[in-house]
Amino acid sequence: MQMSETEMMLKGYGLTTAEFFYHMPDYAHVLNTFVWQDYDIAPDHPRLFRFIDFWKEEIEGPLHSIRFTHRRMISPGEWQNVVGEFTYH
């Protein structure tokens, strides 16, 4: 069963965005870009590296470079379950 985005964030996943620079298959001197985004765990980034392996095996355009950033949206210490409600007017 797949976790929801909120469950993933509470378990330490953060949003990883990667920009792939690759050579066009028919034009070796032309670089193109591809942007990939998924929830991943830092510092190992298993989903990012699994995608890189997929790219190397299945995509014809050879990789030139990859630039990525990772941001944890929330951490378990920042989340609180609030019980109660205030009514105004």
23-74 pLDDT, tens digit per residue, is: 998 998 999 999 999 999 988 999 999 999 999 999 999 999 999 999 887 6
Residue 55's nearest CA partner among 23, 85, 86, 83 is 23
Answer for the pair 53, 31: CB distance below 8 angstroms, yes or no. no
Q: Residue 10: its pLDDT value, please? A: 80
3-state DSSP helix/strand/coil % of the chain, to nearest 5: 25, 35, 45
Q: Residue 79: its pLDDT value, please? A: 59
Q: How confident is the model at residue 89 (pLDDT cuts 50, 70, 90)?
A: low
3-16 pLDDT, tens digit per residue, is: 888 888 888 888 99
Give the separation between CA 23 and CA 32, rounded to whole angstroms.
Answer: 6
What tokens appear for 25 in the block? Answer: 């298959």
What's the pTM?
Answer: 0.76
